[in-house]
Amino acid sequence: MNIVLLGAPGAGKGTQAAKLVEEFGTPHISTGDILRAAVKNQTELGKKAKSYMDAGDLVPDSLIIDLMNERFQEPDAQVGFILDGFPRTTAQAVALDDMLARLERPLDGALLVDVESEVIVKRLTARRCCKDCGYIGSDADASCPKCGGEMYQRDDDNEATVRNRLDVYEKSTSPLIDYYKGKGLLKAVDGDRPVDEVYADVKVALGL
Ligand code: AP5
Ligand code: ZN
């Protein structure tokens, strides 16, 4: 399985990716997770990316493209991949096409998880994530239902930053819907339904 997950921040890309990983074992490559780890470990990449992420703006394309070129060299990415949060601009999508052509690994599809903005603002301001296993939950979870770990709120999940992330999505990322439509690769699911119903549609859309 070689797929791209598209959709606004908070549409449920990470949630659906976790279900695909659990069922199919395909590597989940999330640029957001890679960047947050880099910020936490205070690497050079993390130091450069932090201010953009805190503001809800995009990290410059050149940093992201270098990061993904490296990530595709790792052995697990040879098995397949679920790309989550990449590409996010047309320049990144063109770079991805080049990377995949070099690797001779064509995309099977680009799956859009579609959810409208006001639902997203509610979801993201309530989102909490597990410090230990990365489980994505909400403020209804006192501790992680998977491992008992402590739940925390991402720095960019406050309302003002969420609204900026939605604007950035509209302006810079939503043109990728037409980009993949033009290549005959776009598939879409309604993401504003219970997680398991969305997942059932995801599998149908991807022919799994
Ligand atoms: P990133 O980490 O990619 O954030 P994002 O795209 O904003 O996406 P999210 O992780 O917020 O949302 P999601 O769609 O995965 O939703 P989730 O499943 O968690 O990026 C963060 C930052 O890094 C960016 O702002 C940017 O600065 C930088 N960055 C990353 N990649 C970059 C790139 N390629 N180029 C440049 N910069 C980049 O779900 C959200 C919530 O909703 C959860 O609480 C969940 O439990 C709940 N939920 C999920 N599904 C449902 C459902 N069906 N019903 C009800 N609730 C649900
Ligand atoms: Zn956990």
Q: Are 131 and 152 a contacting pair, CB within 8 Å?
A: yes
71 is catalytic: no
pLDDT in tens, 151-208: 999 999 999 999 999 999 999 999 999 999 999 999 999 999 999 999 999 999 999 9
* CA–CA separation, 80 and 56 (whole Å): 29
For 97-122, write each residue's pLDDT tens digit. 999 999 999 999 999 999 999 999 99
If residue 88 lies in a helix (H) or strand (E), which one and from where to where?
A: none
What would the CATH number be for the domain defined by 2-116+172-206?
Answer: 3.40.50.300
Please name every residue paired with 82 in a beta bridge, in sequence order, or none if there are none: 3, 28
Q: What pTM was computed for the model? A: 0.95
Q: What's the pLDDT score for residue 92?
A: 98
The alpha-carbon radius of gyration of the chain (Å, integer) is: 16
Q: Are 14 and 84 in contact (CB under 8 A)?
A: yes
Residues 6+ positions from 127 with CB-CB distance below 8 Å: 10, 136, 137, 138, 139, 153, 154, 157
> Ligand nearest 18 Cα, by number?
1
CA 112/CA 184 separation, integer angstroms? 13
Selected catalytic residue, list 48, 105, 154, 163: 154
- Tell me whether residue 127 is one of the annotated catalytic residues: yes
Q: Are 82 and 17 in contact (CB under 8 A)?
A: yes
Q: Locate the ligand 1 atom nearest the alpha carbon of residue 128 and give its number.
A: 44
CA torsion sign for 154, 16, 189, 172 is positive
**Per-residue pLDDT, 195:** 97
Q: How confident is the model at residue 148 (pLDDT cuts 50, 70, 90)?
A: very high
Kindly report the protein residue whose alpha carbon is nearest to atom 55 of ligand 1.
Answer: 194
Nearest partner of 36 among 48, 24, 50, judged by Cα: 50
Instruction: Give the pLDDT confidence of 31-50 residue by residue, as tens digits.
Output: 999 999 999 999 999 999 99
Q: What's the rounded mean pLDDT across residues 109-138?
A: 96
Percent of the chain's residues with pLDDT above 90: 98
ipTM: 0.97
SS3 5: strand
Whether 9 and 123 have beta carbons less than 8 Å apart is answered as no
Report the relative pairing of strands 136-138 and 127-130 from DSSP bridges: antiparallel
Q: What is the pLDDT of residue 26?
A: 96
Ligand 1: atom nearest CA of 193 is 53
